[in-house]
Amino acid sequence: MANEAIKSKLTVRQFSTDLAKYEGLISRLVPKYFPPERMVQLAISCFMRTPALQQCTFLSIVNSVAIAAQLGLEFNSPLQHSYLIPYGKICTLQPGYRGLLHLALQSPRVHNVSAHVVRANDAFSFTYGTHGELTHEWGIADNRGDWLGAYCLVRYKDGDPSYLVMSKQEIEDIRDRSSQAWRNGKQDSPWFTYPDEMRRKTVTRRHLKFEELSPLCSRAVGYDEQAESGKMQTPIVEIEDYSVLDEQMNPEAQVDPKVEQARKEAGKPAEPGGEGLKQRLKATAKDKIPIFGTKDAPVEWPDVFDGPALVWNGERYEFDGEGGNYRKVEAACPTK
C-alpha cells in the first residue's frame, strides 16, 4: 500500500480499487444522515473529471475524502460545500463559503449567518462597542462601484448579533499571504474565478474562527487554512509507512542528497527520514520504534548534528549525519 500511495497518474480502475479499502474508515467518519456510498461516488466522479487530480498521490486524495467525510461536506457537487483542490502532487479538501455556513448553522445557538461584499456606491456604516450597529443598503443597479471590503454577520437565537468587518486591504493581505494558487497566478484558482465568494469566505472564516460555534466548524476553518497553503492537511487516515507520510507532508526535506548518503553509510535503507515525525505520530503505539540501531540495542543521538531542517506541526527537526536521520531540536541543543 505504501508504494501505491506515492504513485502518480493513477488509473480510474486502480483508484476505485484502492479507495474501496478505505470505505470502512469513511463510514465511521460520516454523520449518520450521510450515506458513505455517496462520498465514494463523489470521489470517483471527481477523479474521472479532473486530470490534475490524477497526478496527485493516492494518500493525499483519500485523506481529503476522509476530511470531507468527517465534516459531512459534499465536495465538487452542486451544493458547493467543498472542493478537492490539487496542488501539484498534493490533493487538499477546501471548504467553500457555503460549506462554512452549513456547519455554522448546525450550532443550536445560531439563527442565521450571512456575509456580503461592500462596494463604493453602497450605503454602509457600522460601529463596534456595547451598542454596536451595522447597516448596509444597495440597489439592484449594476453601478455599485469597486469593492471596499466585506463583512460576516451571525445572528443568534438568544442575545445580540455578532459581526466582523474587514477592509479590502486586510482581505487581500490574507489572500497574498495564504493562497499558493494566487501567488502562482493559476487562473483556475477560485480567487480568479469566484472573487466575491472568496472575499465573503475570507471574512466568514475569520469571524467563525473566534466564535467557537461547534467543533466541526472549528475543524473546517483549520482545514481550510491548511488547504490555502497548498500542503497536505493533517492526516486522519491509517498509515502503515510513515516515511511516505513524511515525504508527502514535507517534500522539500526529501530532496537533499545528504539524507540518502548518510542513511546508506549508516546501513539504513535509502528512503526518506522523518523518524522524529514517526515517534510523534506513533506515540500511542505499544511497541516503540527506536530512532536508529536495533530494538534491543537502540543507539542514542550524538551531541552534535547538522544538515537541513524539517519543520512539522510547529516543531523543528534537524538532520543528524551520523545517525542518517532527523531528530527533534530543543531550544538548548547545539548546532553547527
Tell me if 247 sits within 8 A of 192, measured CB to CB.
no
What tens digit of pLDDT does each residue of 234-289 get? 777 665 544 555 555 554 444 345 555 665 666 655 444 444 444 444 443 333 33
Specify the higher pLDDT residue, 234 or 329.
234
What element of type H or E holds 11?
A: none
User: Which sequence spans correspond to the domains of the chain?
Assistant: 2-94, 107-211, 242-328
C-alpha dihedral sign at 194, 58, 237, 273: negative
Average pLDDT over residues 12-22: 84
Q: Is the pLDDT of residue 332 over 80?
A: no
Average pLDDT over residues 32-40: 85
pLDDT of residue 117: 95
Query: CA 227 to CA 98: how far, in whole Å?
Result: 16
Residues 6+ apart with CB under 8 A from 145: 119, 120, 121, 122
Tell me if 103 sits within 8 A of 71, measured CB to CB.
yes
Tell me if 153 sits within 8 A of 114, measured CB to CB.
yes
User: In Å, how far are 98, 227, 287, 314 from 279, measured between CA atoms?
Assistant: 38, 25, 11, 15
Residue 166: pLDDT band with limits 50, 70, 90? very high
Q: Which residues pair with 119 in a beta bridge?
A: 147
pLDDT of residue 213: 76
Q: Which of 223, 187, 249, 190 is nearest to 59 (CA)?
A: 249
Look over the chain and give the mean of its residue pLDDT values, rounded to a whole number.
Answer: 74
Average pLDDT over residues 71-99: 89
Average pLDDT over residues 75-96: 89
Average pLDDT over residues 105-116: 89
Which residue is listed with cell 463523489? Answer: 42
Q: Is the pLDDT of residue 150 over 90?
A: yes
Spell out a b/e string for 267-293, using b for 16 or more CB atoms within 10 Å of the CB, else e: ebeebbbbbbbbbebeeeeeeeeebbe
Specify the higher pLDDT residue, 33 or 304.
33
Helix, strand or coil, per DSSP, at residue 151: strand
Length of the chain: 336
Specify the higher pLDDT residue, 143 or 124.
124
Average pLDDT over residues 173-182: 81
Spell out a b/e string for 80-90, using b for 16 or more CB atoms within 10 Å of the CB, else e: bbbbbbbbebb
Q: Percent of the chain having pLDDT more than 90?
A: 22
Backbone angles phi, psi at 53, to 5 degrees: -70, -30
Q: What is the DSSP string of 256-282?
A: -HHHHHHHHHTT--SS---HHHHHHHT
Residue 12: pLDDT band with limits 50, 70, 90? confident
Q: Is the pLDDT of residue 215 over 90?
A: no
Q: Give alpha helix (H) positions in 179-293.
A: 180-183, 190-193, 195-211, 215-229, 242-249, 257-265, 275-281
Residue 229: pLDDT band with limits 50, 70, 90? confident
